[in-house]
């Protein structure tokens, strides 16, 4: 198991290094940051001075190595727009994004896994059709439209939940539903497909022939094996939630890391964009690594793969 973890950890570090270099290069090649910082009406002399002051005239690889060394020590530089340390801004706003991401994934798992299990246990029944309908609707509805509908219904018309802000725990309910419902269809369909496949296996038929309780067969024997691909998918979806929280945080006026990403993109704040891309990528890679380790623990055969 330790060898497996070491191999996966080395691969994750290599992927993280590759992603950081590609994202750093693309942001610099997308346009001259000196022009954006100097302003539209700046002269060529002013642009050249800004380029030299911030080191944009040096080779790209040298800039990347210096940035990576500072980033590894927690120093992401100073925001061009906010004139504040980027690490401090991210540390202040990241907990909001982590809360709605974690709550959204919890909502998705609590909704999708039971629906998938019941749909597989009663195939072609009204339960199965209802679960598939919920999944299709969830995949078809855009997150921003769904969020606006929830605001109109529960905040404007009924007045039950706040439309924005995080003054108390109720402010996280609507964002949690929007993020969680986005991930529900894929998790539900994969759970259903995995359960259908496992329930047709020989050892399940043997367990039924021995007279084991149907609930024991369903949840103890079948679900343990069917849940393995769901773990990997949930890790990927959670990484998407953190990275894709930009839309949800903008709709509900949540000042998290996602909203900070939107602000930095709209204002061409290069240091903040670089830091957020790196952090969101690390979340995605880290969750995928944890999912691989958990799957290897659930199924020892994966350690030999």
CA distances from 304 to 4, 9, 290 (A): 8, 16, 17
List CB contacts of 259: < 8 A, sequence separation 6 or more: 93, 246, 249, 250, 253
Low-confidence winner among 176-185, 207-216, 231-240, 241-250 (lowest mean pLDDT):
207-216
Q: Which fold has domain 95-256?
A: MetI-like fold (1.10.3720)
The pLDDT tens digits for 96-143 are 888 888 888 889 889 888 888 888 888 888 888 888 888 888 778 888
Higher-confidence position of 297 and 98 = 98
Count the neighbouring beta carbons within 10 Å of the beta carbon of residue 159.
9
Give the residue-averaged pLDDT of 70-77: 84
Domain residue ranges in the chain: 95-256
């Amino acid at each position: 198991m330790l060898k497996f973890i070491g191999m996966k950890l080395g691969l994750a570090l290599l992927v993280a290094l590759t992603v950081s270099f590609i994202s750093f290069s693309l942001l610099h090649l997308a346009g001259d940051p000196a022009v954006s910082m100097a302003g539209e009406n700046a002269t060529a002399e002013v642009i050249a001075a800004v380029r030299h002051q911030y080191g944009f005239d040096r080779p790209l690889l040298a800039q990347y190595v210096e940035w990576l060394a500072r980033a590894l020590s927690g120093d992401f530089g100073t925001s061009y727009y906010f004139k504040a340390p980027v690490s401090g801004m991210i540390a202040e706003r990241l907990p909001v994004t982590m809360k709605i991401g974690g709550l959204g994934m919890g909502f998705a798992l609590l909704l999708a896994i039971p629906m998938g299990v019941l749909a597989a246990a009663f195939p072609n029944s009204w339960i199965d059709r209802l679960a598939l309908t919920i999944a299709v609707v969830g995949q078809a509805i855009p997150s921003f439209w769904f969020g606006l509908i929830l605001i109109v219904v529960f905040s404007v018309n009924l007045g039950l939940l706040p439309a924005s802000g995080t003054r108390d725990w109720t402010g996280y309910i609507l964002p949690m539903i929007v993020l969680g419902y986005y991930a529900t269809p894929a998790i539900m369909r994969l759970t259903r497909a995995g359960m259908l496949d496992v329930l047709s296996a020989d050892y399940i038929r043997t367990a039924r022939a021995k007279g084991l309780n149907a609930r024991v067969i369903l949840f103890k024997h079948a679900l343990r094996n069917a849940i393995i691909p769901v773990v990997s998918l949930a890790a990927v979806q959670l990484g998407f939630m953190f990275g894709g929280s930009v839309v949800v945080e903008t709709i509900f006026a949540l000042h998290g890391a996602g909203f900070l990403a939107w602000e930095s993109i709209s204002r061409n704040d290069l240091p903040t964009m670089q830091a957020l891309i790196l952090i969101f990528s690390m979340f995605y890679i880290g969750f995928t690594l944890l999912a691989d380790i958990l799957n290897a623990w659930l199924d020892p055969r994966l350690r030999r793969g």
